[in-house]
C-alpha cells in the first residue's frame, strides 16, 4: 500500500469548542453475573471496565459482580486475581478498590442445572446484601461452543426468570461461525429470552468515534447534502492491526479475518456510514436504519468475488522495530494453514443514495500500524481550470474519520500558498476528538456495559442484523475456504507491511489508492 498523495499536510486547527449538549445517564441497581469469569476477557476488559464505571460513580449504589467458572478457587483468590488484572489495566485506585472488592463474588460451577440452582441461591443472598433487587445481567464470556448448553442450564435453573426485576443476557462475539450455526444459537436464545432481553455485543459499536459518525452526519447540516453518489467517489473503511493473533490460534484458525473482523466490526462501521437518518434518535429506529443498509448490500457471488476480494496471510517480518513470526509459525497454527489474516474487498450498496459508489473494506493483522479509519473520498472537480497552471493534477477532497487511535476527523482540501507565486498545496482541517474536552471518556466495554445496565440497545446487534450480515457474507466465506484448483489465491505479505501488493493492484485497477494513517 502507498501513502496517500501529498505526504504531510499543513494543518488548520479548529477554533474554540462550544458548550456540549449531553444526555444524562443513570443505571438501575443490578447483579452482573459473568459466565467464564476465569478467562482472558474478564480480566482484560470486563473487570477493568466495571471498575472504571464504579470509580466514576456511573454504577448504581446497588450492584455486585458474581463470577462463575469451572475453576475451583475461593472468592478471596478471585478477588486477588481481579485486583491484579485491574492494576495491570491501569488507573488503579486503592480506596475505590476497597469498596469495589467487597462487591466481587465468585461461585465455582460446572453449569449443570443443579449447580446453577445453587449459584442462583448464592446470587439471591448477595442481592439482599447489596440491595440490588431482582435485576440481573447474565454475561456469557465462555468459548462460544458452549453458549447453547449454558443457556439451556440458565433457563432450567431459573436464572432466566424475571421475578420482580429484569434479566438481560449479554452474548459475546462470535455469534455463531456461519449462518446455520448463528441461526441454531438464535433458536436456543429465543426459546428462553425475548429479543428485548438479548444484548449481542460488537464492541466496535461501543467506540465513541463509531457513534460519532452519526452525530457528524446528522447533527450538522453541511455534510448530509453531499453524503451521496452525486459527490462521493468512493468510501474506504480500514481496520489495520499491528498485533498478530496473540494466544488465540485455536480460535483464529477456525475464524480467519472475514469472520473475525468483517462479519461484525467492519459491517457495523459500514452501517453507520451508509445509513439514512432516522426521524428520531431512538434505539429501534437507529437499528432499523442500520439493518436497511445490510438489506441493500449487493449480493456476493463467486464470479464477482474473484475480482472483488483479496485474501492474504502474513509471513515473517518486522513490526515496530521487532521481528515478527509469520502466521504459520505462530504457536498453535497449522504449518500449512491457508487461513487468511488479511482481506480487502469491494462492495456496493444498492439504493438511491449509494448507487455506483464503491466501498472498499480492508483489514488485517500484523500490518505496519494500528489504525481504524473511514475515508470519504469526494469526486474530483468537474473541470480542471488550473490545468495549464499546475503541473500536477489536483487531487480530490476527503473527509477522514479516524476511529482509533488518535481519534480525529480531518477534512482535506486545497489552498493557495501565500506569496506571489501561484502554488497550490494540500491542507488538512483537523479536529482532535478529545481536544478541548475534559470530561470522562468511556472505552468501548465501559460504554456497552453501561448501556446494558440502563437497557439501551442502540449499540447492540439486533437478531435480524446478525442474520443478514452472516447471510450476505456467506458466499465470501465459502469462497475463501475453497482449496485446490480454482481456489482463491492466498497473497502473502510481510509482517509490518501495509498488506499484500495484490491489494494495491486491486484498488489501483479502479484508478484509486488506499489511504493510510497520517498524523
User: Which residues would be at the binding site for ligand BG6 (CB under 6 A)?
Assistant: 173, 241, 260, 372
Residue nearest to ligand NDP (CB): 39
Non-local CB neighbours of 318 within 8 Å, separated by 6+ positions: 324, 494, 495, 496
Closest separation in Å from C-beta 121 to ligand BG6:
35
Does the protein bind ligand NDP through residue 368 (CB under 6 A)? no
Q: Would residue 265 show up in a list of annotated catalytic residues for this protein?
A: yes
Which residue from 5, 17, 40, 393 is in contact with ligand NDP, where contact means CB under 6 A? Answer: 40
* Contact criterion met (CB below 8 Å) for 318 and 233: no
Q: And the C-alpha cell for 258?
A: 472475514
Does the protein bind ligand NDP through residue 142 (CB under 6 A)? yes
Which residue from 48, 60, 66, 172 is in contact with ligand NDP, where contact means CB under 6 A? Answer: 172
Which residue from 8, 70, 194, 519 is in contact with ligand NDP, where contact means CB under 6 A? Answer: 70
CA nearest 444: which of 407, 413, 409, 418? 407
152: number of Cβ within 10 Å: 16
Phi-psi region of 258 (alpha: psi -120 to 50; beta: other; left: phi over 0): alpha
Span near ligand NDP by CB under 6 A; candidates 135-143, 185-193, 225-233, 261-269: 135-143
Catalytic residue among 9, 265, 383, 414: 265
Element holding 364 (H helix, E strand): strand 359-364
**Under DSSP, is residue 283 helix (H, G, I), strand (E, B) or coil?**
helix
Q: How many CA atoms lie within 13 A of 179 on its CB side?
A: 14
360: number of Cβ within 10 Å: 23
Does the protein bind ligand NDP through residue 377 (CB under 6 A)? no
Q: Which does 260 bind (CB under 5 to 8 A by kind): ligand BG6, ligand NDP, none?
A: ligand BG6
Pairing between β-strand 63-69 and β-strand 30-35 as defined by DSSP bridges? parallel
Closest separation in Å from C-beta 250 to ligand BG6:
13
Does the protein bind ligand NDP through residue 69 (CB under 6 A)? yes
Question: Between residues 69 and 374, which has the closer beta carbon with respect to ligand NDP?
Answer: 69
CA nearest 406: which of 440, 438, 447, 372? 372
Q: Which does 142 bind (CB under 5 to 8 A by kind): ligand BG6, ligand NDP, none?
A: ligand NDP
Closest separation in Å from C-beta 372 to ligand BG6:
6
Place of cell 433487587: 133
**Under DSSP, is residue 50 helix (H, G, I), strand (E, B) or coil?**
helix
Closest separation in Å from C-beta 243 to ligand BG6:
6
DSSP E strand boundaries for 348-423: 359-364, 371-378, 398-404, 408-416
Does the protein bind ligand NDP through residue 301 (CB under 6 A)? no
Does the protein bind ligand NDP through residue 67 (CB under 6 A)? no
Residues paired with residue 494 on neighbouring β-strands, in sequence order: 315
Rounded Cα gap, residues 310 and 314, in angstroms: 13
Closest separation in Å from C-beta 85 to ligand NDP:
11
Which residue from 41, 285, 315, 394 is in contact with ligand NDP, where contact means CB under 6 A? Answer: 41
Does the protein bind ligand NDP through residue 89 (CB under 6 A)? no
Rounded Cα gap, residues 107 and 104, in angstroms: 11
Closest separation in Å from C-beta 166 to ligand NDP:
23
Distances (CA, A) of 227 to 152, 269, 345: 46, 16, 21
Rounded Cα gap, residues 186 and 180, in angstroms: 10
56: number of Cβ within 10 Å: 14
* Contact criterion met (CB below 8 Å) for 415 and 427: yes
Closest separation in Å from C-beta 70 to ligand NDP:
3
Q: Which does 172 bind (CB under 5 to 8 A by kind): ligand BG6, ligand NDP, none?
A: ligand NDP
CA nearest 252: which of 365, 105, 397, 389? 365
Q: Which does 499 bind (CB under 5 to 8 A by kind): ligand BG6, ligand NDP, none?
A: none
Span near ligand NDP by CB under 6 A; candidates 12-20, 39-47, 318-326, 451-459: 39-47
Question: Between residues 57 and 70, which has the closer beta carbon with respect to ligand NDP?
Answer: 70
Question: Between residues 146 and 315, which has the closer beta carbon with respect to ligand NDP?
Answer: 146
* Contact criterion met (CB below 8 Å) for 494 and 368: no
Place of cell 493473533: 245
Non-local CB neighbours of 229 within 8 Å, separated by 6+ positions: 353, 354, 355, 356, 357
Q: Which does 466 bind (CB under 5 to 8 A by kind): ligand BG6, ligand NDP, none?
A: none
**Under DSSP, is residue 348 helix (H, G, I), strand (E, B) or coil?**
coil
Question: Between residues 254 and 502, which has the closer beta carbon with respect to ligand BG6?
Answer: 254
Residue nearest to ligand BG6 (CB): 260
Question: Between residues 260 and 407, which has the closer beta carbon with respect to ligand BG6?
Answer: 260
DSSP 196: G
Backbone angles phi, psi at 144, to 5 degrees: -60, -25
Question: Between residues 114 and 405, which has the closer beta carbon with respect to ligand BG6?
Answer: 405
Span near ligand NDP by CB under 6 A; candidates 166-174, 322-330, 395-403, 453-461: 166-174
Give the torsion sign (CA, 127, 128, 129, 133). positive
Does the protein bind ligand NDP through residue 6 (CB under 6 A)? no
Q: Which does 241 bind (CB under 5 to 8 A by kind): ligand BG6, ligand NDP, none?
A: ligand BG6
Closest separation in Å from C-beta 174 to ligand NDP:
6
Closest separation in Å from C-beta 239 to ligand BG6:
6
Closest separation in Å from C-beta 469 to ligand NDP:
16
Q: Which residues of the chain form contacts with ligand NDP (CB under 6 A)?
A: 36, 38-42, 44, 69-71, 141-144, 146, 172-174
Catalytic positions, please? 265
Amino acid at each position: 500500500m502507498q501513502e496517500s498523495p501529498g505526504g504531510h499536510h499543513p494543518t488548520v486547527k479548529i477554533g474554540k469548542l462550544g458548550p456540549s449538549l449531553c444526555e444524562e445517564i443513570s443505571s438501575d441497581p443490578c447483579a452482573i453475573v459473568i459466565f467464564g469469569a476465569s478467562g482472558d476477557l474478564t480480566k482484560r476488559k470486563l473487570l477493568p471496565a466495571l471498575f472504571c464505571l464504579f470509580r466514576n460513580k456511573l454504577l448504581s449504589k446497588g450492584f455486585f459482580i458474581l463470577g462463575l467458572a469451572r475453576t475451583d478457587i475461593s472468592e478471596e483468590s478471585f478477588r486477588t486475581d481481579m485486583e491484579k488484572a485491574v492494576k495491570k489495566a491501569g488507573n488503579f485506585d486503592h480506596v475505590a478498590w476497597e469498596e469495589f472488592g467487597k462487591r466481587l463474588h465468585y461461585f465455582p460451577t460446572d453449569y449443570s442445572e443443579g449447580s446453577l440452582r445453587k449459584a442462583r441461591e448464592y446470587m439471591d443472598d448477595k442481592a439482599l446484601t447489596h440491595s440490588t433487587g431482582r435485576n440481573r445481567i447474565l454475561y456469557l464470556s465462555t468459548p462460544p461452543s458452549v453458549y447453547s448448553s449454558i443457556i439451556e442450564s440458565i433457563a432450567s435453573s431459573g436464572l432466566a426468570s424475571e421475578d420482580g426485576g429484569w434479566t438481560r443476557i449479554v452474548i459475546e462475539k462470535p455469534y455463531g461461525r456461519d449462518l446455520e450455526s448463528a441461526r441454531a444459537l438464535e433458536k436456543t436464545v429465543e426459546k428462553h429470552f425475548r429479543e428485548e432481553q438479548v444484548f449481542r455485543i460488537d464492541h466496535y459499536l461501543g467506540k465513541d468515534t463509531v457513534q460519532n459518525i452519526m452525530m457528524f452526519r446528522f447533527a450538522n447540516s453541511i455534510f448530509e447534502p453531499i453524503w451521496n453518489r452525486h459527490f462521493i467517489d468512493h468510501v474506504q473503511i480500514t481496520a489495520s492491526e499491528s498485533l498478530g493473533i496473540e494466544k488465540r490460534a485455536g480460535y483464529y484458525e477456525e475464524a480467519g479475518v472475514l469472520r473475525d473482523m468483517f462479519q461484525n466490526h467492519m459491517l457495523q462501521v459500514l452501517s453507520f456510514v451508509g445509513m439514512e437518518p432516522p426521524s428520531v434518535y431512538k434505539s429501534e429506529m437507529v437499528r432499523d436504519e442500520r439493518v436497511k443498509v445490510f438489506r441493500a448490500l449487493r449480493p456476493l457471488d463467486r464470479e464477482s468475488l474473484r475480482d472483488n476480494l483479496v485474501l492474504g496471510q502474513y509471513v515473517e517480518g518486522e513490526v515496530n522495530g521487532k521481528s515478527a513470526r509469520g502466521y504459520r509459525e505462530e504457536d498453535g497454527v497449522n504449518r500449512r494453514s491457508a487461513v487468511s489474516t488479511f482481506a480487502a474487498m469491494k462492495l456496493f450498496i444498492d439504493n438511491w443514495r449509494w448507487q455506483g459508489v464503491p466501498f472498499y473494506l480492508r483489514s488485517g493483522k500484523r500490518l505496519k500500524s494500528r489504525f481504524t479509519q473511514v475515508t470519504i473520498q469526494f469526486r474530483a472537480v468537474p473541470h480542471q481550470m488550473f490545468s495549464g497552471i499546475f503541473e500536477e493534477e489536483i487531487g480530490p477532497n476527503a473527509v477522514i474519520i479516524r476511529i482509533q487511535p488518535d481519534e480525529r476527523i480531518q477534512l482535506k482540501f486545497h489552498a493557495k500558498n501565500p506569496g506571489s507565486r501561484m502554488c497550490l498545496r494540500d491542507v488538512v482541517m483537523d479536529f482532535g476528538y478529545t481536544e478541548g474536552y475534559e470530561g470522562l471518556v468511556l472505552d468501548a466495554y465501559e460504554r456497552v456495559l453501561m448501556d446494558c445496565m440502563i437497557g439501551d440497545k442502540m449499540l447492540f446487534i439486533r437478531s435480524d442484523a446478525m442474520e443478514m450480515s452472516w447471510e450476505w457474507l456467506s458466499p465470501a466465506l465459502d469462497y475463501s475456504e475453497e482449496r485446490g484448483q480454482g481456489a482463491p489465491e492466498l497473497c502473502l505479505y510481510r509482517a509490518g507491511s501495509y498488506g499484500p501488493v495484490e491489494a494495491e493492484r486491486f484498488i489501483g485497477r479502479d484508478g484509486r489508492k488506499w489511504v493510510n494513517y497520517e498524523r
